[in-house]
Chain A
């Protein structure tokens, strides 16, 4: 029975900002444990889509169901408690607090006080910031702050993880590490990743959804999508060909 209900189902989702239609009648389905990449040129509406999924924006029309429960229009913290975690495109971290405290704030919602210490340490290890545990986040590099945010998302153990450009500003080696982490957490959880870096997409992707001007342009396996001429056209020389 449970298998029949998709993890996430958005139907006819539209988000307008005045005259701008950022999301235009989007229908999107994600199964349990799925790993999906979401690509599309700048302004295609990817981040807006994530914001409606996480309660940062209330969609103009349409429905969103998380395991069958409607979530469109709910407050962010309610959706977070239901099990959706997000790393936003513009980093959202607690700048004035230490790395450890950032992670702890994410861990403590689910873990008992006894579990919290080990859980925080495990996440620090995973994001390779153990040596920086007591540093104030504001003093870290941009790439490290990205890691802190990814660490917080992982630490909260959500059922669905949304990552908006997780590899932005990372070195090749760091990007590779991110891809490895994504594959690892996908063993137990569903993930949607927005990325522009096609090398990165190739490292992780199974199915890819392409947004263009607020609509779903194509949705298929990574090879078919990258071979699709329409996709090449909308990217116009972006790294797709590589």
Chain B
């Protein structure tokens, strides 16, 4: 597909997404809108891991550490300031700082990939246990009681920027959450098209080669990890805004595992796939939960196994391959040289 063609198609897709986001509240019930808002918040979390794992090659088993920190940072700040504006900012900055410290030790300490998984997992467990044991009046940040395993109820939800008296309606909350999802998606797409993004992918492809060309893989991975932490933190704020509540389960390992399932189902190495995977899986989980017939974890496990065996690439890459096969003109670059070059005089390509 020629470049300007593709750009036009993408612009149309984005415009359609904006229109859909705008119109949804008029079409569906409040309950369904709330559910969609939750899915959109979770999809932002999905994007955070989709980015660092699919493009940065960093498989974190503890992406919920940043999600949870973001959620708690938002809750504590919103209660103290009684204004969501600085709270949202802190929900991004604090997890990013935490990711910077953690990333520094992991990547500059040259810790191997296996230990990266172990460390991120352990850190999440530590956070879960620490926050879990903050019951009692002693654990207070400003005016915010952390509440231990009971969590923090009645957290102020989003208000208009710098206008705490105007709290967002559920419709406005949906527009905000879905708008953030779209914005994060577009920002990542843009980043990946820029030189910085190409370098991130290059480091994923071959760290040794990247360093032999003068790129510092430790720094590149650390920055990728920090951006992933910041996005996960923002997702945490969106999540707390949705429920006006946060508890230590936000750090849960089962949620960390679920993100990995979303991405596997939707397609590793894409941004759209994990969003779709997240929404589909969360919808199934919610549906099963309301039916009480099957165990949701059992079904999730089965879905994962089926995908790994039958559609290992995930939904979006498989669909893309299908489209490429159906439209011969749109042959992807992966299919090698064009016809004209195959007739070129040199002996190459005879693999």
Contacts and interface: CB of A to CB of B under 8 A. Distances in A.
B298 interface: no
Contacts of B214: 77, 80-81, 109, 156
Interface in B178-229: 195, 198-199, 201-202, 205-206, 208-217
B203 to A, nearest CB: 9
A97 B351 CA distance: 18
Interface stretch (B132-140, B169-177, B337-345): B337-345
Given A131-B340, A135-B333, A141-B351, A156 B213 contact: yes
B310 interface: no
B349 A132 contact: yes
A76 interface: yes
Interface string A126-157: 00110110111001111110000100100010
Contacts of A106: 213
Nearest to B213: A106
A144 B206 contact: no
B206 A173 contact: no
B56 to A, nearest CB: 13
B211 A139 contact: no
Contacts of A80: 211-214
B212 A76 contact: yes
A76 B210 CA distance: 9
Contacts of B213: 77, 80, 85, 105-106, 109, 152, 156
Contact of A86 (B206, B212, B347): B212
A201 interface: no
Interface residues of A, number: 43
Contacts of B290: none
A109 B212 CA distance: 12
Contacts of B346: 128
A132 to B, nearest CB: 5
A120 to B, nearest CB: 13
Nearest to A142: B351
Contact of A136 (B201, B334, B351): B334
A210 interface: no
B348 interface: yes
A142 B349 CA distance: 9
B205 A108 contact: no
A109 to B, nearest CB: 5
Contacts of A149: 209
A85 B348 CA distance: 25
29 contacts: A76-B212, A77-B213, A77-B215, A80-B214, A85-B212, A85-B213, A93-B209, A96-B201, A97-B201, A97-B202, A98-B333, A101-B198, A105-B199, A105-B210, A105-B215, A109-B213, A109-B214, A128-B346, A131-B340, A131-B344, A132-B336, A132-B341, A139-B351, A140-B348, A141-B348, A141-B350, A144-B348, A156-B214, A173-B347
Interface of B: 195, 198-199, 201-202, 205-206, 208-217, 333-338, 340-341, 344, 346-351
Interface of A: 54-56, 75-77, 80-81, 85-86, 88, 92-98, 101, 104-106, 108-109, 128-129, 131-132, 134-136, 139-144, 149, 152, 156, 171, 173-174
Nearest 8 pairs of A and B residues by beta carbon = A131-B341, A80-B214, A76-B211, A94-B205, A92-B209, A141-B351, A134-B333, A77-B211
